[in-house]
Structure 1
Amino acid sequence: MTLTLTLTAFYAGLAGLLYLYMSIYVIKQRLNIGQGLGDGGDDTLNRRIRAHGNFNEYAPLTLVLIAGFEALGAPALLVHLAGIILIVSRGLHAYGMQGGDKEWGRKYGILSTFALLLVLSLANIGMALF
């Protein structure tokens, strides 16, 4: 039997596009202020760097958990739900990292990412054992 993780591949592709967008967003600010390395004390650049880094800290593990969930036979609807939550939560977090009146996005992005990590972790453990 050949295992295909088609749904995970789709959401990994979307995550890759979001990561690329965030990378360009960081580079754009670097060019705007002439800062090649570090943040130079620029709050906007610091926020963009952290949003980009935070995505890189959470998205890969979450995608691995989604892949495990799919491989263990989770219903397609639930795999899609997990993928959508990943993309939306990381997008919300990045949006909220701009600060000001957008801070709510960071809060809800973090909460939904943590909830997704918890649910997927427990689901993978449960499905693998039982």
Structure 2
Amino acid sequence: MNKQRDRFRPVNPMLGVQPRLGPFPAEHILPWSVIGFAAYLLCQVFLNLGWLWTGVIAAWGISTWWILTGDKPWRFLSRFTRTPYWVRGYCTYHSILQTHRSHRHESKVRHKNRSHRAAAGQARSHRR
């Protein structure tokens, strides 16, 4: 009996199962509540219709959402995600270390050029 028990491990049968509230998938609760609230606003607040029309429009919206998305809402909703815009870019590779060293060298050269230009500009202004 112990050998048989060691060979088989108990597994939770709920692993990998989609969460549900009765027959309804749990991931539909939020969209259905938004649809129900929108039906309430439309029928009761804006159009002053009765509760029967509010229920009919809410049921219509909820059933439409359930038909479109079903148990796998990603199959329908993934159509509306924007695809990335890929562009092929061409640029030469520069090592970070060499770029840092060359940047230091360029900044020293720029500083020398600025001071040289400033001195030349002052000399020109004195000539005029």
Superposition TM-score tier, normalisation by shorter sequence: 0.3 to 0.5
Normalised by the size of structure 2, how large is the TM-score? Answer: 0.35
Of Structure 1 and Structure 2, the greater helix share is in: 1
Greater gyration radius: 2
Normalised by the size of structure 1, how large is the TM-score? Answer: 0.34
Which structure would you say has the larger RCO, counting Cα contacts within 8 Å and 6 or more residues apart?
1
